[in-house]
Structure 1
């Protein structure tokens, strides 16, 4: 099975940013991770984080 990981701008995996996927769940998982990136960036805005600098990688 594949896994999607959300990486912050520094390259670290965001807590709760790992989701095991199947072909039918990948689109929803990516949408959930984009939402998580936005929430995480808001939380860390004082450090200059921006949700556009997060990456989703497949492992």
Structure 2
């Protein structure tokens, strides 16, 4: 199954920022990751992180 990953402004995967998705769970997963980006940016505000600079990437399912 494909996976969504939340990347911080430096390109690292945010802890708890990986969610395996199905077509029916993708919308909710993206909303959850956007919320996580806000929380993570708030915790790292001293480093000038801004939730608008986070990216959600889709990682396709690899070969079995």
Specify the TM-score bucket, using the shorter chain as the normaliser: over 0.9
Structure 2: give runs of 5+ residues left out of the alignment: 60-64
How large is the Cα RMSD of the aligned pairs?
0.1
Offset of residue 44 of structure 1: 0.1
**Paired positions, count:** 59
**Could you list the per-position Cα deviations for residues 3-55 of structure 1 after superposition, in whole angstroms to 9, with x for gaps in the alignment?**
00000000000000000000000000000000000000000000000000000
TM-score, structure 2 normalization: 0.92
Residue number in structure 1 paired with 2:6 = 6
Task: Summarize the alignment of residues 1-59 of structure 1 with structure 2, pairs less than 5 Å apart.
Answer: 1-59=1-59
TM-score, structure 1 normalization: 1.00
Structure 1: give runs of 5+ residues left out of the alignment: none
